[in-house]
Amino acid sequence: MENLRKLADYEGPSGPVVIIIMDGVGIAQDPAGDMVSAATKPHLDWLDAHAVSSRLKAHGPAVGMPDESDMGNSEVGHNAIGAGRIFKQGAGLVNHAIETRALFEGPVWKELVDNCLEHNSALHFIGLLSDGNVHTHITHLEAMLNEAADAGIEKARVHTLLDGRDVPPQSATEYIDRLESLLNRLNEDSGRDYRIASGGGRMMITMDRYNADWDMVKRGWETHVAGRGRGFGSANEAVETLRKESPGVIDQNLPPFIIVEDGQPVGPILDNDSVILFNFRGDRAIELSRAFEEGDEFKEFERDPMPRVKFAGMMQYDGDLEIPRKYLVSPPSLDRTMGEYLARAGVPQLAISETQKFGHVTYFFNGNRSGKFDEKLEEYIEIKGDKVSFDERPWMKSAEITDKVIESMLENKYRFIRVNYPNGDMVGHTGNCLAVEISVEAVDLAVGRLMEAARKTGAILVVTADHGNADDMFERSKKTGEIVLDPESGQPKAKTSHSLNPVPVYIYDPAGTADIRLSEHRDLGITSLAATCLNLLGFEAPEGYDPGIVDLG
C-alpha cells in the first residue's frame, strides 16, 4: 500500500475537513412525497444557492449493487464513501455465487447438508422475507430450498422476518404466498416436509443491530429456536389476524408468531439440525450469529433451549471478529480505505454518530473492518440513542452529536472528522411524514451550527448523504408510477424504503482557503467523496480512486 502524496500547491485548511453525512437525505425527482423540500431548512438552502455543489449517484452500480433498480443503503453507502471506489456488494456477490454454483459447491453448504442427511434432521432458514435486496432477496432463499430438495433434504423450515421497510409497508402476504407456492411444489408427491415455522416483524424480533436492544434477539430466539409464542395455522393467518388487531400496523412492527399443528410448534430448532441465516447484510445479523455460536461467555440473554446445531451465515458479517465462523459467501475485501491512508499519513481522525449509525462511520467506513487503524490517531464516539420509535423523537441525538463535533473543531485536535446524522433515514423508515419533515429540520439546524463553527475554526465542510429516503415518502405503483392511495383514508400510502434518488454534496469553505471549483468530471457517485476529502486535506487521491468532485486552485 503506497503512502499518500501531498498536493504541490495546497496544504489544506487551518481547521479540520468535516464530512457531514445526512443519512437518508436525497434529492427528489418529484415534489410529491418529498419531505426534504417540504422542510424548513435555511442552512441547506443557503448551501445549495451559494456553496460549490453537485449531486451524486448513491444507488445501483454506482455503489456496487447489481442494477439501477437496486436501492443504495447505509452499509454500501459508507463502504463506497470510505473506500473511494466501487466494489461489488452483498446482493451481487450472492447472485454470482448462486449462478456459478460456488455457494452450493463450497464446504460450508456441503457440511450443513451432510449433517442433515446423517442425522435425518431439519435444515432451517432464518432471514428477511422480501425482495428489497438490502438485507436479503427471496430468490436466494428459493435457490437454496430447491438445492436442498435436490440434495435429498427431507425436512426444511423457514423462519420468516417480515419487511415493510425496504419494500411496501404491508406487502408481507405477497412474499408469503410466493414462498408457500414453492414449498407446496417441493412437497408434492415427494415425501418432503418443507414449511414456514415462525415469523414476526423485523423491528420486533431478531434483527437488532449495534447491541441496541438485545430483547429483540431474545424474542427471536424464543420464536425461532424454542418455538414458543402465539400460534397460528399458517403465516398468512398470523399476518391477517395481527393486522386486524392493530389496524394500519406496518409489517416491520408485527408481533412474533409460530406455526402450530395439533397444538404443537411445527419447527423448533433441535439438536443436530442445521441453521442458515440467509441475510447477506451484516449489521442486523451479527447478534443472532453470536447467540448461535458463542458458548458460556455469551451473557446477553439466557438461551433456553441451546440446541447443538451446525450454523452458518450467508456471509461473514464481521471479518475481524470472525462472526460467524462459517459462512456461505465471502464478503467483499475493501482495502486501501481513506481511513487507513490517513492513519498511515499521521492524520488525526474523529468518527461520531449515535448508536443506529455508529457502525457505519466506523466499521463500514473502514471497509468492513472492526477496530482502529491507529489507536493514537483515531477516536470513535458513539452517542447512545433512545429506545423509542424514531418518529417520537425525530430530532434524535442531532444536538448531542453536534455539541461533540463543535467541541472537537474548536480544540483543533483532529484534521479529519466524519459525522453521521441518522435522522432522515431512521425516521424515514417509520413512514410518518410529519416526523420525517421535522427530522430534516433537526439536521438542518445541526448543519447551521457546524457552519458557524467552521467560520470560527477555518474548517471546510463537505455536506452530503449516503442515499435517499426522506425525499421519497409516498408509495407508487410499479406499473404506472402513480401515487398509491390508502383505500380507507384516501391519503397517499407512506413509503418506508430508501429512494433511488441522487444525493447532494456541498463544499463550504468560509475562510476561502482554496479556489474550490467543480471538476470537469460528471456523472459521479458517492465514491468520489473520498478523493474530494483527501484533496481538501492537501493530499493527492491514491491510484485507482474515483475522481474527486472539485479542483483546487
Set 74, 130, 398, 528: catalytic member: 74
In the block, residue with C-alpha cell 470513535: 380
Q: Which three cell numbers stand for residue 408?
A: 472537537
Three-state secondary structure readout of 278-291: CCCCCCCCHHHHHH
Distance CA 156, CA 105 (A): 20
Distance CA 392, CA 295 (A): 38
**247 phi and psi, to 5 degrees?**
-55, 135
Task: Give helix 398-411 / helix 433-457 axis angle, nearest 10°.
Answer: 10
Query: Is the CB of residue 553 less than 8 Å from the CB of residue 515?
Result: yes
Distance CA 73, CA 466 (A): 7
Residue 389 annotated among the catalytic residues of the structure: no
Which amino acid does the sequence have at 267?
G
199 membership: H or E segment, kind and range: strand 193-201
In the block, residue with C-alpha cell 490517531: 377
**CA-based nearest residue to 151, from 195, 103, 184:** 103
Distance CA 532, CA 462 (A): 9
Distance CA 334, CA 410 (A): 33
Name the residues annotated as catalytic: 74
